[in-house]
Structure 1
Amino acid sequence: MAVNNFMKRIVGRAKKYIVPILALPLVLGLLGYIFPKGNSPSNYKASVTISTGNYGDPLYTKTKEVSVLFKSEPFLKEVFPEMDEEELTDMKDKLLVEIRSDTVFNLSYLGADQKETFTVLEKIRDTFFKKDKNQFLKREQVIDKNIKALKNESVSHDSKVDKQRFLYDLETRKLEMKAAEEIEPLTALDSGGVGMTPKKRAVLGVLIGLALSFFIIVVPEVFREA
């Protein structure tokens, strides 16, 4: 009997407040759809996957060190000399480095405009490749110089075996050397995971409205019953 009375009061309360109960989810859903996400939304994610080089450089051939390099102000200042300190700090927050292995990492950048997001990461990537290539060539030149010097060096008959072994080691090292390379091309797509789309915000608004409507109808009667 008490349950029946409780349900009757719920139904009566629902009828009494039918207009705000129906309007609340609709209004919140509409507000969710049109409500701006913020002053500087990040809707796009540019991404590129890179394999580090193999030439013995302590900075450019180790993914952990490379991840620090990309976040360093001197490197970013070299890429974007026109930016002030505040802009560089904002860029660091939007620049992400995901280490996948000892030799592979993913570099990504979040931005509001697809073309601009792509261009920003493209400049960062190209600057890294340029610096990496310079370091690679320096190491390669050193090995070439050593190979040439060793070939021109006159040695005794007893030392010929050692000379051949050293040459073999140097030439093998040179063959194994490589500069950094792009293994997954640079793309800029809708991030999907950064912020909510208008439709998702509208659905969330409706759900919140339904929850509030439930509280308006049920909670007062629950306290009254108590």
Structure 2
Amino acid sequence: MLRKRPLLCFKVGRVDEMNLLKRFTARLKHYLWLVLALPAALAVIGFLVPVGSMPSSYQAQATVQLGNYEDPIFNETNQVMLMLANAPFYQQQLPQLWAQNEQELLSEVEIRDLNNRLIQLRYRAASKEEAKNGAQAITDAFLNADRQHYERRKRLIDQTLSQLEKEKTPASDSAARTRFFYKLQSLKLTMRPAQQLEQVSSSGASVTTLSSKKRAVLGAVIGMTLVLLAAALPEFIRKMTRWELNNDGCGTRLQHSDFGNHTDVLLGKTVQQTIQSVRAQTWPYWELIIVDDASSDRTRAMLREAAKEDARIRPIFLEENHGAAFARNTALDHAKGRYVAFLDSDDCWKPRKLENQLHFMEMHQYAFTFTGYELMDAEGHLLNKIVSAPKRVTYKRMLKNTIVGCLTVMIDRKQTGAFRMPNLRSRQDLATWLSLLKTGLVAYGMDEVLAEYRISGKTSLSGNKWKAAKKTWFVYRNVERLPLIPSCWYFVHYAAHALMKRMIST
């Protein structure tokens, strides 16, 4: 995906060399009265102010026995769970429900594996009736789709049996024909469609309330967190945006300027490096789909030229800028391969990236893998700073640490089934990984540096970091629908890991 990005130039001055931790401690001592007063004040407010019950939520559930007619999409538990956790099923089978509740429908649905081809479908809503109707509608839609596939399979077997009965088979083939005939009859006898085992039931309202003591503790924790953030953020913002300290200790932001047409020159240069890193792969069987998200004519001409030089390169040109999610989904729709990987227009792969990662996945039969990556500056010079890949990342670990770099991911769509990225302006990759991991998949890390991540221009501004933090919080609360306290817990871990990653990259 190609996106325009303004080229910013900063005049760098002499920076105060005072240790960051010492400045942080000094700031806390300077505002000691606030350190003590704010948590205490919020604790008192939390204890005294009456808080009513939060709106109730109801949950309805249905248990479904999956069918048995040799259809992997509808008969295998992991494939069914993946199908019911993604938008295409609801867009096709429940268009009215999808149109009414497009933004929140997926987050209200939960699918659980009960083993032995049993799944439990749960649906949350504001009222008991709405929850039961929603759960029943989704169950009926799945059963109807399953019944259609079952009937199609059954008709095919009946037609084959009828044809075998009419055909005259040579004596030499009679035994094989008879075995095949009885095998089909046996399969027909054991075939069955999916069925709902019990009526939809709803649980009582889950009312979330906090006692006065708990509200007081929560107020004190929030107050202390705000104090620590107020003391720490100015120092990290100073570091991330390259503030210059004058002798009087005041911060002065350095001037920046937009270089206009030079944006396309820089962009074109990085795109060429990115394409070349793919063409240099030791694994030759790849297809490079480049989605141009309404960039300049100069960039488009360069992409057309690259496609002429290498038939494996397929550029797709969008007339309007739709954002990263739309561009990546467009690429996913056009991708023909079993394995898919992602690469932004200013990052690069090491030559053995595809070969080594494919071998790693096929050797262990992994569906979702990622690797370590190395940081480079705007000019493509490696900084000898590496972000390593942990051995495995589960759903909860991903919530705590967004360690998976999009440029290192490779997914086996034969195992995961078709998937799409949610229509978010940013952090759509995080939401996608969480959606896949939530089905029970595990992301396995390959402890090998196989990609190069360009940090200049997209991670150097504090505004981008702040926006990323806000978007991560949005994913917690609005996409994953996590309650407030677990969201705070995961966000604290995320912030700590983000700061550590920032220290590595500076």
TM bucket (normalised to shorter chain) is 0.5 to 0.7
The match for 1:205 among 198, 212, 221 is 212
Contact 1:49–1:106 (CA<8 Å) still a contact in 2?
A: yes
Post-superposition offset of 1:63: 1.2
TM-score by length of 1: 0.68
Q: Partner residue of 1:132?
A: 146
The residue type paired with residue 149 of structure 1 is: Q
Bigger shift: residues 114-123 or 70-79: 70-79
> Is residue 79 of structure 2 the alignment partner of residue 65 of structure 1?
yes
> Is residue 197 of structure 2 the alignment partner of residue 183 of structure 1?
yes
Q: Name the SS for the 1:59 alignment partner.
A: helix
Q: Partner residue of 1:20?
A: none
CA distance in 2, matches of 1:82, 1:129: 16
Contact 1:52–1:181 (CA<8 Å) still a contact in 2?
A: yes
The match for 1:174 among 180, 185, 188 is 188
Matches within 5 A, 1:50-199: 50-77=64-91, 78-81=93-96, 83-84=98-99, 87-101=101-115, 103-192=117-206, 195-196=207-208
Q: Partner residue of 2:239?
A: none
CA distance in 1, matches of 2:97, 2:106: 15
The residue type paired with residue 81 of structure 1 is: Q
Deviations 1:160-198 (CA, angstroms, capped at 9, x unpaired): 322221111000011111100112331122154xx42x5
Post-superposition offset of 1:143: 0.6
Work out the number of aligned pairs and report it. 175
Q: Name the SS for the 1:50 alignment partner.
A: strand
* Structure with more of its chain in helix, by fraction: 1
Deviations 1:58-115 (CA, angstroms, capped at 9, x unpaired): 2111111111211222221231436448x32311111001112251111001111001
Contact 1:42–1:112 (CA<8 Å) still a contact in 2?
A: yes
Post-superposition offset of 1:209: 6.7
Contact 1:76–1:88 (CA<8 Å) still a contact in 2?
A: no
Deviations 1:143-170 (CA, angstroms, capped at 9, x unpaired): 1111111111112334332222111100
Q: Partner residue of 1:219?
A: none
Unaligned ranges ≥5, structure 2: 1-43, 220-506
Unaligned ranges ≥5, structure 1: 1-23, 213-226
Bigger shift: residues 128-137 or 147-156: 147-156
Q: Partner residue of 2:477?
A: none
Q: Name the SS for the 1:48 alignment partner.
A: strand
After superposition, the CA RMSD in angstroms is 2.8
% same residue: 21
Distance 1:115 1:29, change over 3 A: farther
Distance 1:158 1:83, change over 3 A: closer
The residue type paired with residue 118 of structure 2 is: V
